[in-house]
Amino acid sequence: MLKKVLKWTGIVLGCVLLLLGCFYGYIYFNTESRLNKVYEVTAKPVIITNDSASIARGKHLAQIRGCAGCHMPDFAGGYALADESTPIGVLYGPNITSGKGGISYTDADWIKALRHGIGKDNKPLWFMPSEEFYLLSNQDIGDIISYAKSRPPVDKEWPKKELKPLGRVLTHFGEFPLIPAEKIDHNASFADSVQKGITPEYGKYLALTCTGCHAPTFKGGPPHGPGQPEIPDISATGHLGKWSEPQFAATMRTGKTPEGKALSDAMPWKMFTYSDDELKAVYSYLHDLK
């Protein structure tokens, strides 16, 4: 009797392992296909100059759009979205200067990276938050590129990116936002410029940066990486809905909420250089967003 039980237990376990293996094989080839998809995209040109005014505007835009969060202030990369110790994979913010380990981009390559989330080979860039950038005005995109191109070359190389089995499973089920290129309307049209002001409309435009972590609804969601907290709701239904405008501004300036809670290190508030009027605009949008 015991031999029969052990035999059937072995058969059942073998079948389960076989099914799991087949399922993971499907996930592997599915994610490989998505990661190696070649996008036929023609980058719509924007005006890119190297004058000091454009570079200064680009620097401010790069700061408030969170570029230094992954690429660091010197644009040489290094932020570990997932390091060698994680079960998800290995993914460091890349060096986007022209130094050793960096990139050699044409203007069209820069536009495709920012607006379409694809690299020089027309394949998806991993974790590049282009869904936050692609609706920026032509002027803003041009100024960001002007600033990025002005950065001095830095020689830094980072470990080769790698997606481990857990990372593939999470990507397959949409729990790890690895391929933003899939979320973008690659045929969209763009405004040449935007009207600035302390208005919800301009606040919505500025808050595009927040959607990469806090979701397009601004309702937050699960953490993006090991050891990170749940991403909070920053709409009117979250804590922000109870804050005054000065309290919101103080939170963004000090990293401490009105409730006395320190913001997570995953929130790059120290890198943001919003002006007072920009913070007022963002607040005017988020505070009334249901």
Q: What is the pLDDT of residues 42-78, one digit of tens each?
A: 889 999 999 999 999 999 999 999 898 889 999 999 9
In this prediction, residue 6 has a pLDDT band, given cuts at 50, 70 and 90, of low
Residue 225: what pLDDT?
Answer: 64
Q: Is a pLDDT exceeding 90 seen at residue 92? A: yes
Final residue of a domain: which of 151, 183, 215?
183
Domain of 214: which CATH number?
1.10.760
Q: Are residues 159 and 229 in the same domain?
A: no
Give the whole-angstrom CA distance, residue 158 versus residue 102.
Answer: 10
- 269 inside domain: yes
Domain count, the chain: 2
Q: What tokens does 188 get? A: 């969209």
Residue 268: what pLDDT?
Answer: 83
Q: Are residues 153 and 275 in the same domain?
A: no
- 23 inside domain: no
Q: Is a pLDDT exceeding 80 seen at residue 208? A: yes
- 35 inside domain: no
Residue 81: what pLDDT?
Answer: 86
Residue 281: what pLDDT?
Answer: 97
* Listed residue (109, 108, 77, 103) closest to 92, CA to CA: 77
Residue 226: what pLDDT?
Answer: 64
Final residue of a domain: which of 183, 210, 237?
183
Residue 24: what pLDDT?
Answer: 87
Work out the average pLDDT over 139-163: 96
Q: Are residues 177 and 224 in the same domain?
A: no
Final residue of a domain: which of 119, 150, 183?
183
- 111 inside domain: yes
Enumerate the H helices of 112-244 as residue ranges. Answer: 130-133, 138-150, 165-172, 200-206, 211-214
* Listed residue (77, 46, 47, 43) closest to 151, CA to CA: 77
- 222 inside domain: yes
Give the whole-angstrom CA distance, residue 98 versus residue 105.
Answer: 8
Q: Are residues 178 and 94 in the same domain?
A: yes
Q: Are residues 71 and 161 in the same domain?
A: yes
Residue 223: what pLDDT?
Answer: 78
What's the pTM value of the predicted model, to 2 decimals? 0.88
- 214 inside domain: yes
Give the whole-angstrom CA distance, residue 41 versus residue 224.
Answer: 28
Query: What's the domain range around 67?
Result: 52-183
Q: Is a pLDDT exceeding 90 seen at residue 168? A: yes
What are the backbone angles phi and psi of residue 141, rounded to the nearest 5°? Answer: -60, -45
In angstroms, the Cα distances linking 46 to 111, 174, 234 are: 8, 32, 33
Q: Are residues 70 and 112 in the same domain?
A: yes
Q: Are residues 138 and 219 in the same domain?
A: no
Q: Is a pLDDT exceeding 90 seen at residue 157? A: yes
Average pLDDT for the chain: 91
Residue 7: what pLDDT?
Answer: 66
Q: Are residues 123 and 153 in the same domain?
A: yes
Q: Are residues 145 and 62 in the same domain?
A: yes
Give the whole-angstrom CA distance, residue 218 versus residue 212.
Answer: 9
Higher pLDDT, 116 or 271: 116
Non-local (6+) Cβ contacts of 99 within 8 A are 76, 152, 153, 154, 155, 156
Work out the average pLDDT over 134-157: 96
Residue 140: what pLDDT?
Answer: 96
Neighbours of 139 (CB within 10 A): 18
- 33 inside domain: no
Non-local (6+) Cβ contacts of 194 within 8 A are 137, 140, 202, 205
Q: Are residues 236 and 151 in the same domain?
A: no
Residue 2: what pLDDT?
Answer: 64
Residue 5: what pLDDT?
Answer: 63
**Using one digit for the tens of pLDDT, what is the confidence trace for 237-290?**
998 889 999 999 999 999 999 999 999 888 888 888 999 999 999 999 999 888
Residue 267: what pLDDT?
Answer: 86
Neighbours of 110 (CB within 10 A): 22
Q: Are residues 209 and 167 in the same domain?
A: no
Q: Are residues 153 and 216 in the same domain?
A: no
% of the chain at pLDDT higher than 70? 95
Residue 269: what pLDDT?
Answer: 87
What are the backbone angles phi and psi of residue 62, rounded to the nearest 5°? Answer: -65, -35
- 81 inside domain: yes
Domain of 147: which CATH number?
1.10.760.10
